[in-house]
């Protein structure tokens, strides 16, 4: 794609994302929820086709770039879709929508070798405007990573700053980096390091109950079947990148229940 077209896409969608709150609330509609894609362009296209056919809203949980073979195609396609779909497409920020991760895991190199460093900087600024969380029907909470240690009320997410090229606010960082763990009750340091935490069942249930939530959907961790449940099936991890040797999965969320679909 021509560089000028990508720049135009970035500028137009950055303006859209800058106006979105950090916690996006959806009160109606059915959803197809997609986890990490990491340059898995085929999975993204299949998700779009299913959503179009079924009349669904699309929610992506972050990590669009790094690792996979079609990183630029993946993110650019979603930006084009955002312009035409508007609020029907929600794109959350993952831990790989950050300059630090992009320089370690490939997106910086892909963009700079194909185009130039200035274009990468525009992508980094765009990523800094992506929202951190979504609340569906006031009861389904969707994020990339996990609940932060000192987050009590879900409304606190709305006050998190935008514009951080690397998420620095402790709660923002933990929203994209934290993981659930059945071996602890509260919180513990994560094997990922860098301020990330593990959260256990007690901490999870306290947060969910305090905010009147029924289900949490997140991504961030590869799953053998493409998905996995924890904590009495109140936490669903969905993963959508085939390059981890798994079937890319999505979660079809309707009022009458949730169904796992494969995005092959």
Residues 101-139 have pLDDT tens digits of 999 999 999 999 999 999 999 999 999 999 999 999 999
Q: Does residue 9 lie within any of the structural domains?
A: no
Q: Per residue in 57-76, is it b (16+ CB within 10 Å) or e — as a string?
A: bbbbbbbbbbbbebbbebbb
Span 148-189, pLDDT tens digits: 999 999 999 999 999 999 999 999 999 999 999 999 999 999
Span 190-221, pLDDT tens digits: 999 999 999 999 999 999 999 999 999 999 99
Please choose, from the candidates 6, 11, 60, the residue with its C-alpha nearest in 3D space to the C-alpha of residue 31: 60
State residue 147's pLDDT score.
98
We report the CATH number of the domain holding residue 84 as 3.60.21.10
Quote the CA–CA distance of 101 and 159 in Å, as a whole number.
Answer: 24
The total number of structural domains that make up the chain: 1
Tokens standing for residue 46:
């299949």
The domain of 224 spans 26-262
- Count the helices and strands in the chain (H runs, E runs): 8, 14
Q: Does residue 2 lie within any of the structural domains?
A: no
Quote the CA–CA distance of 255 and 264 in Å, as a whole number.
Answer: 25
Span 9-60, pLDDT tens digits: 999 999 999 999 999 999 999 999 999 999 999 999 999 999 999 999 999 9
Q: Does residue 8 lie within any of the structural domains?
A: no
Q: 2 with 206: CB under 8 angstroms?
A: no
State residue 94's pLDDT score.
98
pLDDT-derived band at 100 (thresholds 50, 70, 90) equals: very high
Q: Does residue 32 lie within any of the structural domains?
A: yes
Give the pLDDT mean for 244-248.
96
Q: Does residue 225 lie within any of the structural domains?
A: yes
State residue 154's pLDDT score.
98
Q: Does residue 19 lie within any of the structural domains?
A: no
Whose tokens are 């904590």? That residue is: 231
Tokens standing for residue 117:
């460093």
The number of residues making up the chain comes to 264
H or E element at residue 5: helix 3-19
Q: Does residue 21 lie within any of the structural domains?
A: no
State residue 65's pLDDT score.
98
State residue 104's pLDDT score.
96
State residue 89's pLDDT score.
98
What is the number of other CB atoms lying within 10 angstroms of the CB of residue 39? 25
State residue 97's pLDDT score.
98
Predicted TM-score (pTM) of this structure:
0.98
Residues forming the active site: 96
Q: Does residue 6 lie within any of the structural domains?
A: no
State residue 64's pLDDT score.
98
């Amino acid at each position: 794609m021509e560089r000028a077209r990508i720049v135009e896409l970035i500028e137009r969608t950055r303006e859209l994302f800058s106006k979105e709150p950090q916690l996006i609330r959806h009160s109606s509609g059915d959803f197809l929820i997609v986890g990490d894609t990491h340059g898995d362009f085929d999975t993204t296209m299949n998700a779009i086709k299913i959503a179009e056919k079924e009349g669904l809203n699309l929610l992506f949980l972050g990590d669009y770039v790094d690792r996979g073979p079609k990183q630029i195609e993946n993110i650019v396609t979603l930006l084009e879709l955002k312009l035409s779909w508007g609020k029907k497409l929600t794109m959350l920020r993952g831990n790989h929508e950050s300059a630090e991760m992009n320089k370690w895991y490939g997106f910086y190199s892909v963009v700079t070798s194909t185009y130039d460093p200035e274009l990468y900087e525009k992508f980094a600024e765009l990523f800094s405007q992506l929202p951190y969380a979504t609340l569906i029907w006031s009861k389904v909470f969707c994020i990339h990573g996990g609940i932060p240690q000192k987050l009590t009320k879900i409304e606190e997410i709305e006050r998190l700053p935008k514009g951080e090229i690397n998420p620095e606010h402790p709660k923002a960082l933990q929203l994209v980096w934290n993981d659930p763990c059945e071996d602890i009750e509260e919180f513990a340091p994560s094997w990922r390091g860098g301020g990330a935490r593990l959260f256990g069942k007690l901490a999870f249930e306290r947060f969910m109950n305090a905010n009147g939530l029924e289900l949490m959907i997140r991504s961030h961790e590869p799953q053998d079947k493409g998905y996995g449940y924890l904590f009495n099936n109140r936490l669903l991890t969905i993963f959508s990148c085939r390059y981890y040797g798994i079937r890319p999965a999505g979660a079809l969320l309707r009022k009458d229940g949730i169904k796992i679909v494969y995005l092959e």
